[in-house]
Amino acid sequence: MNARVEAPRPLAARRGGPLRGTVRVPGDKSMSHRALMFGAVSVGETRIGGLLEGEDVLATARALSLLGADIRRDGPGQWRVTGRGVGGLVEPADVLDLGNAGTGVRLLMGLVAGHPFTSMFTGDASLRNRPMGRVIDPLTRMGAKVTARSGGRLPLALTGSNDPVPITYRLPVPSAQVKSALLLAGLSAPGTTTVLETEPTRDHTERMLRAFGAEVSIGRRDGVTTIRLTGQPELRAADLVIPGDPSSAAFPLVAGALVPGSRVTIENVGINPLRSGLLTTLRDMGADITIAGEREQGGEPVADITIAYGGLRGVDVPAERAPSMIDEYPILAIAAACAEGVTVMRGLAELRVKESDRLAALAAGLAACGAEAIVDGDTLTVIGRGRPPAGGGTVTTHYDHRIAMPFLVLGLVAERPVTVDDARAIATSFPDFVPLMGSLGAMIG
């Protein structure tokens, strides 16, 4: 039975002993989506190691298969994609159901926008309520036609253009998904597609496009980053190894900082500077972090990260840091609730349009666990007392993996166990979260 129609699955975490050990987290979700997509529009066979096998990425793989790519699994994390070349995808015979994958649906909309056929997109209840207008608008300017529900929501039909038009587009909000959708659409357009961003966002698409042979130039002047893609390239198949996802690594890292006596090492984690805002913030809070073995893997910087228990202090996190850690604010809020003093996190409007309204969900969850948090516009303020909150509450997750996992981490240090009302969504990005944390000594179950 599909997990999305099963009954909710509550899960609880409670305080135990120190967390100790060395682990590897699953492959980066953002890169896993992109590796499958670029392989699908390349010439030849792309081999991918370390692919995240969470529900979101598997939904992207199924959709690409319907679009004509030959995608096969050779073993755990080992996949092969035989591509059809740029512009070579075929009209799908069925609806493209992306489940809970916001990255998957937005990037795939860009990928098919330069193909002259119609694709139907849908997803689960959560994804059907997430806004797609920010992608629809620029893709329409490039020649695609989109019919969607009110508010630009799924389900929607997208008919790609036979003659896509390259455009210059300034991102109205920092969004790597919108930027990537435009660049993917630009693959099929003649000439140069240009994206302007005033706040740098994660650059996995640009890095990976270059690895597959595309011509991508990046410059920054007067506070504006300009990304230019030369259209209609012949992408060449590549062999990729996906590094560990820093967003997944965030959970054992913060747990290691909060649980007394802990020392945790996470190997082979991506440390892309546009994804490392959490590490910067934890260091500002006084966390004992060591980074070793820095190297490059698949065009991305990776390293081994060790964190040891130590008291944290409240900090002011500037709004300009948000794009580099937007998915990590929920777990940062847990760290803040245990820190000494006030932590202020600014520029979090994007959290309201994720799998849930994460600002509201965080404030409600912290209140249920005896912590004090205030939401004011796009600012979240957490009042730390220098000790873990009481816990004992049940947190409503809204089928959001990045609400479920942080509050389970809180349960490892709170005075009383913390329960999340539904842990099923964890499988979308981190299927082995519970056993991995258990291998370090965490009491979750």
387-412 pLDDT, tens digit each: 999 999 999 999 999 999 999 999 99
pLDDT digits (tens, 9 = 90+) for 51-94: 999 999 999 999 999 999 999 999 999 999 999 999 999 999 99
pLDDT of 355? 80
Report, as an integer, the average pLDDT of 196-214: 95
Supply 360's token pair. Answer: 């509201």
Residues 6 or more apart whose CB falls under 8 angstroms from that of 324 comprise 200, 202, 273, 274, 275, 276, 277, 280
* Token pair in block for residue 73: 């699994």
3-state secondary structure 278-317: HHHHHHHCCCEEEEEEEEEECCEEEEEEEEECCCCECCEE
Are 229 and 214 spatial neighbours (Cβ–Cβ below 8 Å)? yes
Sequence-distant (6+) residues with CB within 8 A of 413 are: 15, 258, 259, 338, 388
Catalytic residue among 245, 304, 327, 400: 327
Dist. CA 229–CA 206, nearest whole Å: 9
Same topology between domain 7-27+243-444 and domain 29-230: yes
Look at residue 3 and tell me whether its pLDDT is greater than 80: no
Count of CB atoms within 10 A of residue 264's CB?
Answer: 26
- The pLDDT of residue 4 is 45
Averaged pLDDT for residues 155-178? 96
pLDDT digits (tens, 9 = 90+) for 88-136: 999 999 999 999 999 999 999 999 999 999 999 999 999 999 989 999 9
pLDDT, position 137: 96
C-alpha span between 355 and 156 (Å, rounded): 18
327 counts as catalytic: yes
What's the pLDDT at 185? 98
Of the CATH numbers 3.65.10.10, 3.30.420.40, 3.40.50.2300, 3.40.50.720, which one belongs to the domain with range 7-27+243-444?
3.65.10.10
Instruction: Find the largest Cα–Cα distance for the chain.
Output: 62
Domain coordinates in residue numbering, the chain: 7-27+243-444, 29-230
Residue 339 binned pLDDT confidence (cut-offs 50, 70, 90): very high
Summarised one tens digit per residue, pLDDT across range 271-320 is 999 999 999 999 999 999 999 999 998 779 999 999 999 999 999 999 99
CB-based contacts of 350, cutoff 8 Å, min separation 6: 173, 174, 175, 322, 326
Q: Would you state the structure tokens that stand for residue 391, as one six-digit string?
A: 């816990």
Query: Taking Cα atoms as reference points, which of 44, 33, 31 lies closest to residue 80?
Result: 44
Tell me the HSE value of 141 on the side-chain side, using a 13 A CA sphere: 15
Q: Mean pLDDT throughout 215-237?
A: 97
Q: What is the C-alpha to C-alpha distance for residues 252 and 23, in angstroms, rounded to an integer?
A: 9
CATH class of domain segment(s) 29-230? alpha beta
Rounded Cα gap, residues 83 and 86, in angstroms: 9
User: How far apart (Å, rounded) are the C-alpha atoms in residues 187 and 386?
Assistant: 52
In this structure, are residues 160 and 121 in contact, taking their beta carbons and an 8 Å threshold? no
Cα 241 to Cα 244: distance, rounded to the nearest angstrom: 10
Q: Are 63 and 98 in contact (CB under 8 A)?
A: yes
pLDDT attached to residue 5: 55
3-state secondary structure of 360: helix
Rounded distance, CA 210 to CA 212, Å?
5
Alpha-helix residue ranges (DSSP H) falling in 19-101:
29-40, 55-66
Query: Average pLDDT for residues 179-204, to the nearest whole number?
Result: 96
Q: 102 near 355, Cβ under 8 Å?
A: yes
- Residue 1's pLDDT band (boundaries 50, 70, 90)? very low
| Peptide linkage before 155 cis (omega within 30 of 0) | yes
If you count DSSP H runs as helices and E runs as strands, how many of each does the chain have, helices first?
13, 24
Residue 2 has pLDDT above 70, yes or no: no
Average pLDDT of every residue of the chain: 96
31, 204 in Cβ contact below 8 A? yes
pLDDT of 14 over the 60 cut = yes
* Whole-prediction pTM: 0.90
Q: Is the pLDDT of residue 201 over 80?
A: yes
The CA distance from 317 to 43, in Å, is: 44
Alpha carbons 184 and 208: distance in angstroms, whole number: 12
- Give the E-state strand segments of 76-149 in sequence order: 78-82, 96-97, 118-122, 145-149
